[in-house]
Amino acid sequence: MTDANEGDASPPRLTPRPLYRPAVAAADAAAFSRPDGVTGSSAPTGTAVEPELTVRPPDPVLAEAFGRPDGESDPLQRGPAGTAAGDTGAAAPADPWRDPDAPAHLGDPATPTPAPAPLPPGRKLGVREVLFGDRVAPRALATLAAIALVIGLLGGAVGRLTAESVSALTSQKVELTQSGRGDREAGQVAKVAEAVLPSVVSIQVALGEQSGTGSGVVIDGSGYIVTNNHVISMAAVDPDNATLRVVFSDGTRVPARIVGRDTKTDLAVLKVDVGNLTVAQLGESADVQVGDDVVAVGSPLGLSKTVTSGIVSALHRPVRLGGEGTDTDAVIDAVQTDAAINPGNSGGPLVDDEGRVIGINSAIRSESGGSVGLGFAIGVDDVTRVAQELIRTGSMHHSEIGVNARTVTNEQTTGAQVANVKSGSPAQQAGIVEGDVIVKVADREVGSADELVVAVHGTEVGQPVPVALIRSGRQVEVQVTPVSD
């Protein structure tokens, strides 16, 4: 038989500790213990009955002093001004004397204050009555007289100072004089302008809503005028609908016709039916030197008869011409100048200090597109050659050798590297192949692809010319016979 507690897993339970009650001192027991005979709470049992309050009648003296008169029922506080009798507005607090939020208010006065009676209008006094009628006190008159005197003195002083200041700035005695030029000789630029301006014209082109302005110069008394191709190309593309006019220095406007034009040199020749024309004198490119004084004449920005001066800053500068709105695709052998050239100068002459035309202004190179830069003119030898051919035949042809090239610059050489050779061209017949670097044509050094074009155009058709080139690091010279384009 097993024990009943066997197998019980719960731990043994502890017995409660005995309650510890400390001893209470006799003095504390007497102060905080229950009164004798009380066993429960110290609060008394049952409901306490509050004693009744007895309201005594007021003292007769106070009632007589503060009570309402006999037959009155209104309170002592009056309502707001203008409130009807018996209408107290908002409900008053139960005890306004003890309500801290009760507003302070003053009622209507016991007796209304009568309005002051209007005074009768006073009569205006005359000067005689003021001075001699004893209507104004003598002291007041003396004060007014003193004030008037002071005001007059101040006004006079201010007027005197103002008059002195004005007189110091203006004078009727000063007479300005001018000195004339007398017999002084005119400057060289003035002489050139006077000689050249009558031969320079403005060219106006219009096609529909499009228009343009350029310049030109009379080169023959029969009415032939040379200008740039890009000036008149808009009229050349659609001659039936375009309007082409020439404006002379005296303001005469006449229609013009296109004789011929050359897109590869950007030159064109016009013809007008006007007699007795002033013809410009053409110079020679061989006489032009770097540093020579030059004058550019034309209609820049539409301003006709404009003259600017400068110098020749470089010669034989290859410049490619073209752009939107024109069929010009040219490389010119340019005369470079620092004379101010702007849009509208195109086609006008560049003249030397003797008044001879040494070029036709054609292009500018500037960061801003204005005259703060360099100008380029087609050399007069090319102008004469092309214009003469256009007047004779109406067209112009140039020498070609049948190569396309690109500019190359490296440690070995600088020149025009052949990109491709046209089949059957003079270049192929001379043995020029792709990759050759052309460095010289005849007597002209070639440093770029544009300079190769200028050099080839400077040769004569059918006349063999030597061409120096670099091939595989060695210089080779071949003979090439240019053909017409």
105 is catalytic: no
Average pLDDT over every residue of 334-355 = 93
Would you state the torsion angle of the CA atoms of residues 129, 134, 138, 143, taken in this order, to the nearest 10 degrees?
Answer: -30
Nearest to 375 by CA among 261, 286, 298: 298
Which residues, at least 6 apart from 245, have a Cβ–Cβ distance to it below 8 Å?
203, 204, 253, 254, 255, 256
Q: For residue 199, list its beta bridge partners.
A: none
Residue 1's pLDDT is 44
**pLDDT at position 82:** 47
Catalytic option among 202, 215, 262, 266: 266
State the catalytic residue, choosing from 199, 202, 215, 230. 230
d(CA 308, CA 371): 11
Strands 356-365 and 281-282: parallel
Q: How far apart are CA 242 and CA 231, in angstroms?
A: 13
Q: What is the pLDDT of residue 368?
A: 67
- Note the pLDDT of residue 161: 75
pLDDT score, position 2 = 46
Task: Please give the C-alpha separations between residue 416 and each of 432, 438, 455, 483, in angstroms, as whole numbers.
Answer: 12, 5, 11, 20
Q: Is 428:444 a contact under the CB 8 Å cutoff?
A: no
Strand partners, 429: none
Model confidence over 400-409: pLDDT tens digits? 999 999 999 9
CA distances from 396 to 82, 137, 259, 269, 292 (A): 115, 115, 12, 11, 31
Nearest to 362 by CA among 336, 397, 396: 336
Q: What is the pLDDT of residues 211-227, one digit of tens each?
A: 889 999 999 999 999 99
- Report the run of H or E that residue 306 belongs to, with start and end: strand 306-321
- Confidence (pLDDT) at 58: 79
By C-alpha distance, which of 442, 415, 418, 308 is closest to 364? Answer: 308
Min mean pLDDT across 4-13, 209-218, 311-320, 352-361 is at 4-13
DSSP for 65-90? Answer: HHSPPTT--S-SS---TTPPTT---S
pLDDT of 200 above 80:
yes
Q: Which residue has the higher pLDDT, 419 or 137?
A: 419
In DSSP terms, 418 is beta-bridged to 405
- pLDDT for residue 14: 73
Query: 155: how many CB neighbours lie within 10 A of its CB?
Result: 10
The whole-number pLDDT of residue 24 equals: 80
Residue 450 has pLDDT above 70, yes or no: yes
Q: How far from the centroid of its chain's Cα atoms is residue 485's Cα?
A: 50
Residues 289-298 have pLDDT tens digits of 999 999 999 9
Distance between CA atoms of residues 62 and 104, nearest Å: 25
Reply yes or no on whether the pLDDT at 285 is more than 90.
yes
Q: Catalytic residue among 202, 215, 346, 362, which?
A: 346
Q: What is the pLDDT of residue 419?
A: 93
Structure confidence at residue 185 (pLDDT): 79
pLDDT of residue 85: 47
Least confident residue range of 8-22, 381-395, 434-448:
8-22
pLDDT for res 68: 75
CA 259 to chain centre: 45
Q: How much is the pLDDT for 348? A: 95
| pLDDT of amino acid 260 | 95
Instruction: Give me the chain's average pLDDT, please.
Output: 84
**The pLDDT of residue 257 is above 90:** yes
How many CB atoms lie under 10 A from the CB of residue 436?
23
Out of 83-87, 150-154, 276-280, 389-393, least confident range? 83-87
List beta partners, residue 310. 294
Q: What percent of the chain has pLDDT over 90?
A: 50
Active-site residue flag, 397? no
Confidence of residue 44 (pLDDT cuts 50, 70, 90): low
**Which tens digits make up the pLDDT trace of 67-121?**
777 777 666 555 555 454 455 555 555 555 666 666 665 666 666 778 888 878 7
Q: DSSP letters along 243-293, please?
A: EEEEE-TTS-EEE-EEEEEETTTTEEEEE----SPPPPEE--GGG--TT-E
